[in-house]
Amino acid sequence: MTNIYSWKDKSFLPTPFGKDYIDNEDNIDSLIEIFMNNYSHVKAYHLCRPISIESYRDNGIKIGSTELLIKNANEILNKLNINITKNKIHSVLNELGYREGNLYLALDDNYMLKNAGHYAIYGSERLIAVFERLGISKEKLKTVGKPTVIHINLPIESIYTEDLRSLVIEINNSIIDMNKISNFAFLQNKSISPNLICEFVHPNEIVNWHCDRRIYRV
């Protein structure tokens, strides 16, 4: 059975949660076990600006790689009618010292839209860096693709042990602190399968930290 914990929806948690404040050094093995006995998945979110969501439907969310970044940059440049070879893009990546990346998923999409909105407004930070090194304004990136929040049902078994521990602490303490927003993120080094994606949402307003925190409206 699939039981999904959603931080935003304040999913039910057994009584031990929220009873006492937890410090990082506390032993919480029993609380982690209770959480895993109640839930099999955690609702998570990924912020991006795809040209088309069909690639995500078909292939899921892939971790950052040189090949993927070159492919994405080339597709955007073609849309903009800018002729730059893949070899040139590869050369720029070498100049920037690009390494294979990871994938971050957030517990709260509202936090991302308020504090990491550039992923939906322009695309990834690496993509921005490539365009600027090529002498192309990142503002051009705003004309291709569409801001998108991808909703994911992330299996608990795929969460790193330390991340799961930190998540349980975050959930517990947020009950006591009555937090309405969370900056918690999951680090993933494997691609997200398309069958874990449950929804695509296109936000209308995003805070743009690259532009004095002005509101970017779609």
Q: What does the pLDDT average to over 121-138?
A: 94
Q: What angle do CA 139, 60, 124 make, to 5 degrees?
A: 25
Token pair of 193 as six digits:
């399968």
CA dist., res. 12 & res. 53, Å (int): 32
DSSP 191: P
In tens, the pLDDT along 87-122 reads 999 999 888 887 777 888 999 999 999 999 999 999
pTM: 0.93
CA dist., res. 82 & res. 85, Å (int): 10
Token pair of 161 as six digits:
């042990």
